[in-house]
């Protein structure tokens, strides 16, 4: 099986030696993705905007992998403050409702104090039906 590695250009990837996504056959694994705009390395103070940016970053990785949100089978969400769940959950629903994946949401400290949410996803593309 050939592996394809996808980078977003985030300096975090270079620092920690990882990539935004790995395509392994029919599977796409997207790393934990925060609310930074990787073009500017800016991050909003607002958890809703951070969550939207997470999904825009994930969408970019999925597109580069030849996938979309309808291919998601798993989503893991990490929020730094339990009170933010009520804000984050409807945004997750907006992006995932059409083809809901399995979901785990955890309250956890994140690696930088400005980070309020981090999301990782796994997608599956059945390439046997593609021409």
Closest to 111 measured CA to CA, from 46, 43, 29 = 43
- Please, which pLDDT band fits residue 119 given cuts at 50, 70 and 90? very high
Count of CB atoms situated within 10 Å of the CB of 92: 21
What is the DSSP-derived secondary structure letter of residue 25? T
The percent of residues in the chain predicted with pLDDT above 90, rounded, is 82
Domain boundaries, the chain: 3-129
State the Cα–Cα distance between residues 37 and 108, nearest whole angstrom: 22
Half-sphere exposure of 64 (CA within 13 A, CB side): 19
Contact 71, 123 (CB under 8 A): yes
Domain 3-129 in this protein, CATH class: alpha beta
Q: Which of 27-31, 35-39, 84-88 has the lowest mean pLDDT?
A: 35-39
Closest to 31 measured CA to CA, from 113, 116, 119, 91 = 119
Closest to 104 measured CA to CA, from 93, 83, 119, 114 = 119
For 41-71, how does the pLDDT look when each residue is reduced to its tens digit (9 = 90+)?
999 999 999 999 999 999 999 999 999 999 9
The percent of residues in the chain predicted with pLDDT above 70, rounded, is 98
For 85-100, how does the pLDDT look when each residue is reduced to its tens digit (9 = 90+)?
999 999 999 999 999 9
Whether 131 has a pLDDT exceeding 60, the answer reads no
């Amino acid at each position: 099986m050939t592996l394809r590695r996808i980078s977003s250009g985030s300096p975090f990837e270079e620092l920690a030696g990882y990539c935004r996504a790995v395509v392994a056959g029919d599977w796409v694994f997207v790393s934990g993705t925060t609310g930074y705009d990787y073009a500017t390395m800016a991050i909003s103070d607002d958890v809703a905007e951070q969550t939207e940016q997470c999904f825009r970053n994930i969408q970019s990785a999925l597109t580069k992998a030849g996938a979309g949100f309808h291919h998601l089978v798993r989503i893991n969400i990490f929020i730094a403050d339990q009170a933010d769940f009520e804000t984050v959950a409807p945004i997750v629903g907006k992006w995932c409702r059409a083809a809901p994946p399995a979901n785990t949401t955890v309250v956890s400290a994140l690696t930088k104090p400005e980070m309020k949410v981090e999301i990782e996803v796994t997608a599956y593309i059945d390439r046997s039906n593609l021409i």
